[in-house]
Copies of this chain bind each other. A is one copy, B any other.
Amino acid sequence: MTAYTATVTVRLKRGVLDPEAETTQQALERLGFELSDLRSADVFELDLDADSADEAGERAEEMTERLLANPTIHDYDVEVAQRE
């Protein structure tokens, strides 16, 4: 078994309203910053032991589909790296 960290990024799908991001953008603009768009995403770093990077990625994907993301409104991607 090797120690891996799977980094799962969960984003809202295009077209899904994100009032939190909109509010954050407006607040930055009120502070005098100029920006054309702001998107927010959630990242989960999962430390897990697995026999291979592929297995770690599959398990992380399963956890994402079961709990971390809502497939109706979210897209996600999973990156796996070996952990020291």
Contact = CB atoms under 8 A, between A and B. Distances in A.
Interface of A: 3, 9, 21, 24, 27-28, 31, 33-49, 59, 62-63, 66-68
Given A42-B40, A68-B24, A48 B63 contact: no
Given A9-B43, A31-B67, A37-B46, 6 more contacts: A3-B36, A24-B68, A28-B63, A33-B63, A34-B48, A37-B47
B41 A46 contact: no
A48 B35 contact: yes
28 contacts: A24-B44, A24-B67, A28-B63, A28-B66, A28-B67, A31-B63, A31-B66, A31-B67, A33-B59, A33-B63, A33-B66, A34-B48, A34-B49, A35-B46, A35-B47, A35-B63, A36-B47, A36-B48, A36-B49, A37-B46, A38-B45, A38-B47, A39-B45, A40-B44, A40-B45, A41-B42, A41-B43, A42-B43
